[in-house]
Amino acid sequence: MTGGTGMMDRLRHNPAALGIGLLLIGAALIAGAEAWLTPFERTVIGFAGINIILAVSLSFSNGLTGLFSLGHPAFMMLGGYTAAILTFPAMRKSTMLPGLPEFIATSELSLLPATLAGGVVAAVAALIAGFPVLRLRGHYLAVATLGLIVIVQVLINNMDSITRGAIGLAGLPRLSNLWWIYGWVAVTLFVTWQLKHASLGRALMSIRENELASASIGVRRARLKLFAFVLGAFFAGVAGALWAHLVTNLTPNSFGIVTAFMIVVMVVLGGSGSLIGAALAAIALSVISEAARPIERAIDAYGLVQIVTATLLIAVLLFRPQGLFGSGEPVTRRMTTPGKPPSKTSHEHRGGFPNETS
Amino acid sequence: MVDTPDTLLEGDRLSRRFGGVVALQDYSVKLSKGDLLGLIGPNGAGKTTAFNLLSGVLPPSAGSISLDGRNLTGSQPEAFAEAGIARSFQNIRLFKDLSAWENVAAGYHMRHGAGWLSTILALPGARASERRMREKACALMETVGLADFIDQRAGDMPYGHQRKLEIARALATEPRVLLLDEPAAGMNATETEELKKMIAVIHEDLGLTLVLVEHDMRFVMSLCRRVQVLNRGELIADGTPEEVQATPAVAEAYLGKGRGKKVA
- What digits encode the pLDDT tens for the residues B219-262? 888 889 899 999 999 999 999 988 888 888 888 887 776 544 45
Residue B235: how many other CB atoms lie within 10 Å: 20
Contacts of B80 in chain A (CB under 8 A): 216
Confidence label for A161 from pLDDT (cuts 50, 70 and 90): confident
CB contact under 8 A, A202 and B105: yes
Burial of A234 (0-12, 13-18, 19+ CB in 10 A): buried
Least confident of A107-116, A343-352, B147-156: A343-352
Distance from CA of A190 to the nearest CA of B (A): 8
B20-60 residue pLDDT tens? 899 999 999 999 999 999 999 888 889 999 999 999 999 99
CB contact under 8 A, A338 and B107: no
* Percent residues over pLDDT 90 in chain A: 49
**What's the half-sphere exposure (Cβ side, CA atoms, 13 Å) at B113?**
29
Cα-Cα end-to-end distance for chain B: 35
CB contact under 8 A, B97 and A335: no
Average pLDDT over residues A69-98: 89
Residue A13 pLDDT more than 80?
A: no
Residues spanned by CATH 3.40.50.300 within chain B? 1-84+175-264
Residue A107 pLDDT more than 50?
A: yes
What pLDDT, on the 0 to 100 scale, is given for residue A12? 60
Q: Give the residues across from B213 on adjacent strands.
A: B39, B181
Least confident of A255-269, A338-352, B133-147: A338-352
What pLDDT, on the 0 to 100 scale, is given for residue B63? 94
B51–A contact, CB cutoff 8 A: no
A251-302 residue pLDDT tens? 999 999 989 999 999 999 988 889 999 999 999 999 888 888 888 888 888 8
Which of B105, B100, B129, B131 is closest to B116 using CA atoms?
A: B129
Q: Is the dihedral of CA A326, A332, A333, A335 positive or negative?
A: negative
Distance from CA of B180 to the nearest CA of A (A): 13
Confidence label for A99 from pLDDT (cuts 50, 70 and 90): confident
CB contact under 8 A, A206 and B80: no
**What's the half-sphere exposure (Cβ side, CA atoms, 13 Å) at A195?**
27
B174-202 residue pLDDT tens? 999 999 999 988 888 888 888 898 898 88
| Domains in chain A: boundaries | 40-255
Residue A129: how many other CB atoms lie within 10 Å: 24
Contacts of B96 in chain A (CB under 8 A): 209-210
For B20, B52, B63, B211, B230, the CA distances from B44, given in Å and listed in that order, are: 15, 14, 20, 18, 9
Residue A166 pLDDT more than 70?
A: yes
Rounded Cα–Cα distance for residues A245 and A229 (Å): 25
Rounded Cα–Cα distance for residues A219 and A216 (Å): 7
Rounded Cα–Cα distance for residues B158 and A340 (Å): 25
A39-61 residue pLDDT tens? 888 999 999 999 999 999 999 99
What pLDDT, on the 0 to 100 scale, is given for residue A301? 80
Question: What is the pTM assigned to this prediction?
Answer: 0.88
A227–B contact, CB cutoff 8 A: yes
Mean model confidence pLDDT for chain B: 89
A108: CB partners within 8 A, 6+ apart: A86, A87, A88, A89, A90
Comparing CB atoms, the residue among B55, B111, B138 nearest residue A216 is B55
CB contact under 8 A, A202 and B109: yes
The phi, psi pair for A255, rounded to 5°, reads -125, 135
Assign domain B1-84+175-264 to its CATH architecture: 3-Layer(aba) Sandwich (3.40)
**What's the half-sphere exposure (Cβ side, CA atoms, 13 Å) at B233?**
13
B165 versus A108: the higher-pLDDT residue is B165
Average pLDDT over residues A140-154: 92
B64-109 residue pLDDT tens? 999 998 999 999 999 999 999 999 998 899 999 999 999 999 999 9
Q: Choose from A60, A194, A202, A356 for mutation: most chain B CBs within 10 A.
A: A202
A17 versus B126: the higher-pLDDT residue is B126
Q: Are A126 and A75 in contact, with CB atoms under 8 Å apart?
A: yes
B158–A contact, CB cutoff 8 A: no
Rounded Cα–Cα distance for residues B256 and B264 (Å): 14
Using N-to-C axis directions, what is the helix angle for B124-143 and B159-171, rounded to 10°? 130
Average pLDDT over residues B110-115: 90
Comparing CB atoms, the residue among B81, B119, B137 nearest residue A198 is B119
Counted across chains A and B, CB pairs separated by less than 8 A come out at: 144
Rounded Cα–Cα distance for residues A281 and A55 (Å): 8
